[in-house]
Amino acid sequence: MLAAAAYNLFWGAFISIHPQLILFGNAPASYLLILIRCIGMLVGVYGIAYYFSSTDPARYWPLILVGLIGKLLGPIGAFYYVALGAMPATFLWVNVFNDLIWIYPFSWILYQVWKK
């Protein structure tokens, strides 16, 4: 969870400062850059939650569960919009690093907490 906290704090700050990088060369609309910056701030807030959950996963398991749900829904939404042609397939790389690689660790931690 500490690694997830560091990653989310870094990614949230980075994407808030450089929102155009997530567009993969597509022309940015000003409202879209604002939305991406807001998402970056939310990602950073998740990093704070992951930090607290790293200190006591049994106590803060609801924060981990919320994170896991987000890690599952993010790729589902991305695949849906790529399939519709509303987003380029290159966007799926964002889900690999922001969501998919974290599903197993979050699930494992929750399993360890719940099996007690």
What range does the domain containing 41 cover? 2-114
pLDDT digits (tens, 9 = 90+) for 28-74: 888 889 999 999 999 999 999 999 999 999 999 999 999 999 999 99
Q: What is the pTM of this model?
A: 0.89
Domain count within the chain: 1
pLDDT digits (tens, 9 = 90+) for 65-114: 999 999 999 999 999 999 999 888 988 999 999 999 999 999 999 999 99
DSSP assignment string, the chain: -HHHHHHHHHHHHHHHH-GGGGGTTPPPPHHHHHHHHHHHHHHHHHHHHHHHHHH-TTTSHHHHHHHHHHHHHHHHHHHHHHHHTSS-GGGHHHHIIIIIHHHHHHHHHHHHHHT-
